[in-house]
Amino acid sequence: MSGLLSRRQDERGARHVGIGFWVRLTLAAASAALLVVTMVGPDWIELVFRLDPDHGSGWPEWAIVVVAFALTVTFSMGARHQWRRFATTAADGTS
């Protein structure tokens, strides 16, 4: 177990997974928040931008839901890949 964390710990014992992990995790959280906000209150576009691009049909809201879902899955998978790569690299003792 000591080999798992020995290479990538600072003096406080914090693990460093890299900036790529944190960027992907932040983007996954942001796109998930957009997904939830759009599903709960689809009229936010009209309220924020004060325009009605679809004239009541709702297609932009559904497009945002689909795109936000795809982005959430993509960024989450990327963050997971970074995390697993870190764990594998740390376990191997390489940097």
pLDDT in tens, 53-90: 788 788 888 999 999 999 999 999 999 999 888 877 76
| Number of domains within the chain | 1
Range of the domain at 29: 2-92
- Rounded (5°) CA angle 37-83-89: 170
pLDDT per residue over 1-17, tens digit each? 444 444 455 555 456 78
Q: What is the mean pLDDT of residues 16-41?
A: 93
CB 23 within 8 A of CB 89: no
Nearest alpha carbon to residue 95 among 19, 2, 1, 18: 18
Residues whose CB is less than 8 angstroms from the CB of residue 94 and which lie 6 or more positions away in sequence, other chains included: 7
